[in-house]
Structure 1
Amino acid sequence: MGIQAQAVIGALYGDEGKGLMVDRLAAATPGAVVVRSNGGAQAGHTVVDPAGRRHVFHHIGSGSFAGTATHFSRFFVAHPMLLLGELADLSQLGVRPEISSDPRAPVTTPFDVIINQALELARGTARHGSCGLGFGETIERNLRPEFALSTKDLFRPDLHARLVSIRDAWVPVRLAALGMTALPVELAAALADDTTIARFEADCAAYLDRVTLWPDRRLCERGAVIFEAAQGLGLDQDCGAFPHVTRSNTGLANMLAIAAEAGITALDATYATRCYTTRHGAGPLKGEVAALPGITVVDPTNAPNEWQGCLRLAPLDLGTLREAITRDLTLDRGGITVKAGLAVTCLDQAEDGFAVTDDGEAIRLDPAKAASDIAERVGLLLWAESWGPRRGDVRLYADAAAAKVAE
């Protein structure tokens, strides 16, 4: 008998409502484990539970309000410096999730953050759209075995020596490769301060107190699997518009690799999109406008910030959406059956006659029928639509038995 898993994938540039969908699926799947399949602490998945508790999930799986465990896969980049703060915030909301991690999951150090922020600041108006949390620099450093740091390495007796080596040997090499001869004063001070390493070692010790090592291959022993992707297909390192991409695969690729290890044989993939398009950070955005007629944008999560600026807007372009999902579904699945459906969110923000575009043509839609119209035009079954930020605002239509297997 095969093992089936569920997945939620952002169809465009992130901020599509992935957290909302994961929470809704988790509530319908008792005893599940949410698996972070890519990204790291730069994720921001907002969930509001039926009681009104609100949290923006960064590390922890978005099914936590529904009682799920969280697993960091080998593709997830852990950030001990930030995890503890998120756990403290969740504790105040009465949530203490069980957390496990594949031993191979990379770990961000303070030095990755320093390099990332210095580089993005140096780019000025040509910024790539980084969140400044060191994600891409962690991936870059881990390409060098002598400087790599994964979750299992946090147990090393020579952890301190490894961190000193990263600071004293890796950082100068990396800065030179980037053509950077000096750091901003504040970042230079943090780099030179020995307490930076001491604080990080304390964070790592606390991290290990909360996170259990558990290999991806034994995932299914933890419960029914719900994969939670970060960012969106438009930011995928292999498919997005370079350099405005993230250093990870944001769709099926990582999920299929994990599923193969774990013995999962079937995957129901929900591709999420708003009924309009947003992009937070630099990079191309087809049809970008200052304001969207017929849409009242409500987004308390994506406030303007110094790294990504203001949330950018455009009508939903069905051609872009269709192309991104189709490309993701053409990946080699290694014998794993994939069924795909669409979730359309933020419909409560749409007014009668709001427009999407397709092949340069503006198409006016009735919000009440918009989700099904969008799904039909994209060529997927409609599996879910949301009319607000809470779990109860999500209508699920997905029936795995009746779902169409992606060609």
Structure 2
Amino acid sequence: MPGLAIIGAQWGDEGKGKVVDLLAEGADAVVRFQGGNNAGHTIVHAGQTWKFHLIPAGILSPGTLCVIGNGVVLDPAVLTREIEGLRARGVDPSHLRISANAHVIMPYHLLLDSAGEIRLGKLQIGTTRRGIGPAYEDKAARLGIRVQDLLDEKILRKKIATALEPKRAALRPFDKDPAIGLQAMTEDGLTFGHRLEPFIADTSKLCWELLDDGRKVIFEGAQGAMLDLDHGTYPFVTSSNPVAGAACVGAGVAPRDINEVWGVAKAYVTRVGAGPFPTELDDELGAEIRRRGGEFGTTTGRPRRTGWLDLVALRYAARLNGLTALAITKLDVLSGFERVQVCTRYRGPDDAVFDDFPYHQSILHHATGEY
């Protein structure tokens, strides 16, 4: 350190929250830099179980500044519930800061996300239907609502009206839903803005000041490298970039500010939703690993697909992120199995062998692991 990125080195759910929680007590800040409440971290701290979807894992360390960076898309209803949940359990959230430039998930994003998945039918990606993708779409289209907009009624109303215009046809089935009326969304947005205002800040400057002073800052990734929008198993990916390089953009810091990158991987592999999975155990053994490991989504409760440790994918993640260290979690889950396998290469179409992660998706979809 001072700048340390913690990155998921698989398809998410590797135990990043636990690693961050362990390191947070010795850090000056923990920063979320991408994703939204589609990612969930379960942490056992001082004998209590905590589940976070937006707030950084370091929130349980009172001396650690916790930052939701500009690269995050946040649902203000979810965030305020998390804040109130902390207060109800005796945790002071006053060391939380939210980037004024972070984008907001609006009610219409949730509706569009669900409608999009239903429309795809058997070709569904398997999103969490939390509005993440549509919110990032609006951000790229320059139609997004930012956290700072929740503090100005005139700006908020105008931006919502502008964002709604190209969505009218897609939202027509929901015309009678009062939650997506312009007046209702403006009023609700202003209410959330008022509740979140004490936490809103120029978080890029805060991070720069800490790093410039030689303080220790942890950049907490969500999901995993194999779900990266550009480098993952597209189109079965998330809508952001969970790789280490995205920490600079999503937190507003310079590349030279990140000195170390730690990857987190389980001793086996899990995946939620659709997409290729060369080492998948779609049998009783996979079900047993799921049961032992408690492999059910923190956000959705969906059962996770399970498989053997995949070193081909792990090497790829190490290269993408420039890992300087690797934390392996859940080794104990495999205790007692007569045989534990590790995939070292793939067997693809036409009996071709791949030591490196295939760049062509048609190969990956038909690849099987060799152990």
What is the TM-score normalised by the length of structure 2?
Answer: 0.82
Structure 1 residues without counterparts, runs of 5 or longer = 176-180, 330-338, 362-377, 379-407
Shift of 1:134: 0.9
Instruction: Report matched runs for 1:1-400 at 5 Å.
Output: 4-27=2-25, 29-30=26-27, 32-49=28-45, 51-67=46-62, 68-97=64-93, 98-145=95-142, 147-166=143-162, 168-172=164-168, 175=170, 183=173, 188=177, 190-192=179-181, 194-209=183-198, 211-222=199-210, 223-257=215-249, 261=253, 265-290=257-282, 291-292=284-285, 295=289, 297-299=292-294, 302=297, 305=300, 309-329=302-322, 340-352=324-336, 353-360=339-346
- Counterpart of 2:191, as a letter, is A
Q: Which residue of 1 aligns with 2:359?
A: none
Unaligned runs of 5+ in 2: 348-355, 357-371
2 CA distance for matches of 1:268 and 1:42? 26
Residues 44-76 of structure 1: per-residue CA shift (max 9 Å, x gap): 011101x21111111111112223221122211
Contact 1:9–1:269 (CA<8 Å) still a contact in 2? yes
Identity %: 28
How far does the alpha carbon of each residue in 1:331-355 deviate from its partner, in whole angstroms, 9 at most, with x for none? xxxxxxxx61100001121125322
Distance 1:161 1:256 in 2: 31
**Partner amino acid, structure 2, of 1:283:** G
Q: Any conservation in 2 of the 1:118–1:183 contact (CA below 8 Å)? A: no
2:303 & 2:173 partners in 1: Cα distance? 26
1:289–1:61 Cα change, 3 Å: same
Listed one character per residue, the Cα deviations across residues 12-45 of structure 1 (whole Å, up to 9, x for unaligned) are 1110000000001112x15x21100111121101
CA deviations on 1:276-312 (whole Å, 9 max, x unpaired) are 100111211112123436845322652694xx84211
- Cα deviation for residue 157 of structure 1 reads 3.8
Query: What is the distance in 1 between the residues matched to 2:13 and 2:313?
Result: 16
Name the count of aligned residue pairs: 338
Is the alpha carbon distance of 1:304 and 1:201 closer, same or farther for their aligned partners in structure 2, counting shifts above 3 Å? closer
Instruction: Report the TM-score, using the length of structure 1 for normalisation.
Output: 0.75
Give deviations 1:371-404, integer Å, cap 9, x for gaps.
Answer: xxxxxxx9xxxxxxxxxxxxxxxxxxxxxxxxxx
Partner of 2:233, secondary structure, is coil
Report the 3-state secondary structure (helix = DSSP H, G, I; strand = E; otherwise coil) of the residue aligned with 2:184: helix
